[in-house]
Amino acid sequence: MSALLRAVDTELYCWTLVSIDTLEQLDELLTTIQQLADDRTARNPGAILRRIGRLAALGSRIAADTYNDIDCGGERFQELAAPLRAAVGGAQ
C-alpha cells in the first residue's frame, strides 16, 4: 500500500482501476485513506490533508466506475465509504 500512496494521482487512478478487483481491496484503500486522515501529528498537515482530499476523490471515482454497471453492491460501498466521508470531513 505504501507504493500506492507514493504514486502520482493519474498513475494511482490507473493502477487502482487495474488492481482493485474486490470490495475488500477497495476497503483496504479506503481504510488507508482514513488512517492518513487520523494522523494529525504529521510534519506537514496541510500537504497531508490535500493528499487525503485527492485520494478521497479517487476513491469516489473508482467506486463510481466500479458500480455504474452493477445493480448490487451500492449498499456495501455506502457502508465502506461512510467512515471515509466522516474521516475526511473531520480532518478538514
Which backbone phi and psi does 15 adopt, to 5 degrees?
-60, -45
pTM higher than the cut 0.75: no
State pLDDT tens for residues 44-82: 666 666 777 777 777 777 767 666 655 445 565 666 666
| DSSP state, residue 4 | H
Output the DSSP codes for 38-91.
H-TT-S-HHHHHHHHHHHHHHHHHHHHHHHTT-SSSHHHHHHHHHHHHHHHHHH
| Arithmetic mean of pLDDT over the chain | 64
